[in-house]
Every structure is written in structure tokens, then in C-alpha cells.
Amino acid sequence: MSSPAHTPSRFLRGTRIPTLMFEQSSMASRHVALMIESLIRQNNSAGRPTVLGLATGSTPIGLYRELIRLHRDEGLDFSRVITFNLDEYYPMPPDDPHSYHAWMHAHLFRHLNIPARNIHIPRGDLPPEAVAEHCADLEEKIRRVGGIDFQILGIGRSGHIGFNEPGSTRQSRTRLVTLDPVTRRDAASGFFGLENVPQQAITLGVGTILEAKKIVIMAFGEHKADIAQRSIECEPSDAITASYLQQHGDATFILDEAVASKLAAVQTPWKLGPVAWTAPLVRRAVLWLSFTAAKPLLLLQEDDFRTHELYELIREHGPVSRLTRRVFDEMNGTICTQPGGSTPCRALVFSPHPDDDVISMGGTLIHLVDQGHEVHVAYMTSGNIAVFDHDALRFADFVAEFNRHFKIDLELTQSKINQVRQSLAAKSPGHADVAEVLYIKGLIRATEARAAALSVGIQPERLHFMDMPFYRTGTIEKAPITDADVAITADLIRQLAPAQIYVAGDLSDPHGTHRVCADAIFRALRILAHEGFTTETWLYRGAWEEWEPHEVERVVPLSPDDMERKKMAIFKHQSQKDRAMFPGGADEREFWQRAEQRNRHTAELFDRLGLPQFYALEGLVQWRGLERTGA
């Protein structure tokens, strides 16, 4: 997957607030870390403190890891830094693993030399009558240190900054708030159920945030695209508190390409002024026009281009008949009934979790197997944290009855069953399981994966359970990938030497596992490229989002029978059926429903373009990362 012109970052036109888009979230995090480093070094040199406003959640993790690296490897001194965190759940004891107090110490503070007296996090363990005074005290402490020099923000799907939910006024100060239902739903998976998410939180106010000297708000992933667009391009409103940042003198949105996809500068840049008509942009514009004018590609006329501000396009690349035929032929050429080619080859499918393979590219798997290709699937993580406790108990009871019936070591069996039951009974929601329970949950996912793979024709001996080290925390929060993760990945590729590799390009996974797994694969492929290994690498999607028509480079047609087989394979993942532990965002559909509806929607879009009609289509994009790096 490549950009027409390789530019790691650029400021976007047509925004109401300065907006800097990066090719990848890692690049964006590194950029913000360097901004903070520069400020700290400058203030340290002058003997002045640096006051940072800090956020929590998945968005700033990359930033915090880079700050830790700068401290560890480049001697960045944090001893003069003073911090104020944005918010904390209420009620919430500081030692609870769900608390932002615990989160900040785990992800940042324990790795830096910030004095404990300089760290300020709202307290969620105070009695109700003490909260107002505590909030006033935080405001006074910020005022006494001269205000916040550099404020880091994320954005929630409700448009909140901090926990300033819709309806918060521009003048609001630090206070106790009631959380929006959208915010609580988004947090539900981390708390292992909506019923466990607190109703309230303490947050710095909008007015407090806007008094910071400099503000950077970061947003990554397709699932934040809609709210980012409304925050950046619409009038400021208390319906979206992030939009108030437009009224700040030094605030910047930092985005990756995925979250910027709905902005006019990315979606319809020709409306904002002259553009360089690269081949990908030509395709995007003509497809956009076809959908907007509700006409198939080959029925578009010159008046359609004039009416929709695309006359410059036909002046440079016309006439219309040649231009639309070119795009039609390109899109028609993406239709591929033999994804593995006409000669049998070996394909390796990397699946971040034990069900991503069949959810996202089950139809492609069916075609590959049915057409005689040797298909291997590598399950990169155990997926054990996504199994409900009641499923673990059910399987433990099955084993107990099995062993009892066949008189297999009854004493040891009963001892282990008791241990499992006691640990689950004593565990609070969201707390880590003991090793025995994690093993049972991992075994459930592995046996489901074998059953699903077998249903599409892949034999168990061609399945590889990688159990990558970064995932083995037993909690939602994962460790960063290391050389060990990359080495495991590279070794498997060396062993199999596949002609094709399939990778999850679905980077909207709310907990980042897809993104981390993809990074490990890409790093492994760059290492192997220096050893002379080459392969064809394709990115699939489907669990959270689907490729847009202008992005796809290959679509694999699915018949009604193919779709039925794909659904049956997804059904084999019984622990994820009916209600998944981590459904992702506000999408309440089951994964099989999402897969079917997205695949059929892609086919409908192709039909609207005047292309051949299919029941369903799975989209793929080719990864060309090695071309970018010159490896």
C-alpha cells in the first residue's frame, strides 16, 4: 500500500484549526515526543520547570514510549517536569488496575525521573463531600505553577476532551461529571462489561484546558474519522467539546492517514484548490463522482464533471470517455477469481487473533484451498483475554466430567478444577487471570481456530500458534513488541518461504493488537529482504472496517455458497458468538453479520459503478513497504 508521493507528514488545507497528517501513528507520536523534548531541554537549560498536561488511553501510548526512550537512551531529564493529568474515573481507588493513576505509573511515571511531588492526578477515592474542594485545589496548583505549558489531548467518539462530554461549556472548570453513554460503551470492554464502568469522572474543564499555552490533540484510526472531521471542519459547538480548540491560539490536531480520511483535504482535495492529478487521485475523484452523481462510470458525462468541480480533471486527463474507460478498466482489473494465481503455491495468512482469518478473508481462504494452494495460517496471539469466565468454567467442568467418567487422575483433576473456580470467584472484573485460567481460555480459542480452519479445508498441521511474547500480559494492556516478537515472525516466514503472505491491515482494532502484529510482520519482512527473500504481501480488512473502492487493488468474488461456508467457519468460534468480549466501538452486530454485510456492500458499490455484479466481494490491498524503504 503506497502513497502517490511519499510524504511522511503534511499540513492539510481547508481546516478550521491547524491539522498535521502523518502517514503512520508511530511517526505522529515521535513528532510530538520531539516537540516535548525540545521544550523540556530549553526550560532545563534556563533552570525553569516544564508543566505538562497529560492524557491516558491507547492514543498516547506511542508518545509515552518515545519519551521513555528519550530519557533512557538520550538522557532527557524530567526532574524539573510538573504534570497534571486530565481526568480520573469516580469512584476509583488509585491502586485499581482500571484507574488512570495506576495506568500513568505503569506506562510513564515509573520509567522517568519526575519527582512524586510534581505528579498531579485527580483523586477518585475521595468522599463526595471532598470532591469540589479537591477540584478547586487542582485549579489553584495549576495557577501557582504558571499554567500548563504543553497539553496533550486525545478525543473520544463523543467528541470529548478530558471527560468534558457533549454539553460542557467553554468556560467549564475542573469538576465531577457524568459520563456520556457513548463514552461508557467505549470503555466497557476494558472493564469487562458496561455494568462495571463508573458513571462519573473528575475532569479538568474546557476552560482549564484552553488556558494551556500550547495544545496538541492526537487521533488515530478509522473509528475516530467521523468525530475528527466534525471537530476540525465544523463550527465550534458544545455538542463536540474538541471543536472549542479552534478558538485556541496555538492548538494543533495530529492525525494519521486513517483518521484523516473523512477530511475534505483528503476525501475531496480538488474542491480546495489546484491539485497534482496523480493516478490514485484520479481514480478516487472519478469513483467519487460516479457515486455522487449516481451514475455508472461509463455513463458519466462532461456536465457531471463541470457540475461537481472536476472540470480541471478532464482538461488534464480527458476526454471524458477515455478517462472513465481508464478507471473502469482499472476497477474491473481488480476482480480476481484466482487470488493465488493459476499455479499452485504456498500462502501464509497471519491472523492477529484466532478468528481474524475467517472473519476478514474467509472467502479468499476458501478459494485458495479449493484451487489447490497450500495454505498455512499463523495465529499470532492466543486471544485468551477475550474469553468470558463462564466459558472457562464450562470447559473446566467438561474436563472434570470427562476425567471422572474415564477415571483419569481424579484427585489432581479435582484440585485443578477447585483452583480455577476459586480464582474466578475471587477475581474482580477486569483483573488478570491466574496462569491456569489463561491457559484454559487460550485452549478454547485454539480449538475453535482448528475447527474453523478445518471447515474451510485447512488441515491442523498447517496451523501455527505463535503465542507472541508481547501479548502475554494477561490484561488488555499489551507490552510493546520486541526483537523476540519480530524474530519469531521472521523464523516462521523463513521456514515456510511462502509465495504469498496475507496480513491484517485492519488498524482500527480498539486495543491495537492488529497494528502491533502488522508492525512485527513488516519488520520481519524488511529483515528477510536483506537476506534476499521476496514475497507478495496482501493486506485484508473486515473485522472493524473495510477497504474503500478507491483503495482496493484486488477483490475476490464470493458466491452465496462461499458466504455460507465463511459464516459457518466464523460460527466455529463459539466463545465470540452472540456477544464478544471486545466487539469494538458502538457496532453491536456480531462479527459474522459485519463480515457478510461489508462484503455484500462492497459488491453493491461495484455494481453501482457499472462493474460486473457479484453476491459479495472481499477486498485486498498490496503492501509495498519494501519499495518505500528501498530494502
Return the closest-CA partner of residue 613 out of 628, 622, 600. Answer: 600
Task: Specify the residue for cell string 493513576.
Answer: 101
Helical residues (DSSP H) of 456-559, grouped into ranges: 483-496, 513-530
Are 89 and 126 in contact, with CB atoms under 8 Å apart? no
CB 480 within 8 Å of CB 325: no
The phi, psi pair for 349, rounded to 5°, reads: -105, 120
Q: What whole-number distance in Å separates Cα of residue 4 and Cα of residue 313? A: 17
- Report, as residue numbers or ranges, the catalytic residues: 165
| In 541-584, beta strands by DSSP E | 554-558
Q: How deeply is 14 buried, as exposed, middle or buried, from its count of CB atoms within 10 A (0-12, 13-18, 19+)? A: middle
Q: Cell digits for 627?
A: 519499495
Decide: helix, strand or coil at residue 175: strand
Q: Which residues pair with 215 in a beta bridge?
A: 151, 251
The shares of helix, strand and coil residues in the chain, as percent rounded to the nearest 5, are: 50, 15, 35
| Number of alpha carbons in the 13 Å side-chain half-sphere of residue 442 | 19
Cell of 496: 515456510
Burial class (CB in 10 A: 0-12, 13-18, 19+), 359: buried
Contact 243, 237 (CB under 8 A): yes
The position carrying cell 511517526 is 27
Phi, psi of 351 (to 5 degrees): -120, 110
Q: Residue 243 in contact with residue 235, Cβ under 8 Å?
A: yes
Interhelix angle 389-405/410-426, rounded to 10 degrees, is 170
Show Cβ contacts of residue 65 under 8 Å, excluding neighbours closer than 6 positions: 29, 480
Q: Which residues pair with 152 in a beta bridge?
A: 216
Nearest to 93 by CA among 360, 424, 334, 431: 431
65 three-state secondary structure: helix
Spatial distance between the Cα atoms of 153 and 250, rounded to a whole number of angstroms? 13
Q: Is the dihedral of CA 536, 373, 486, 474 positive or negative?
A: positive
* Cis-peptide, bond into residue 91, ω within 30° of zero: yes
231 near 224, Cβ under 8 Å? no
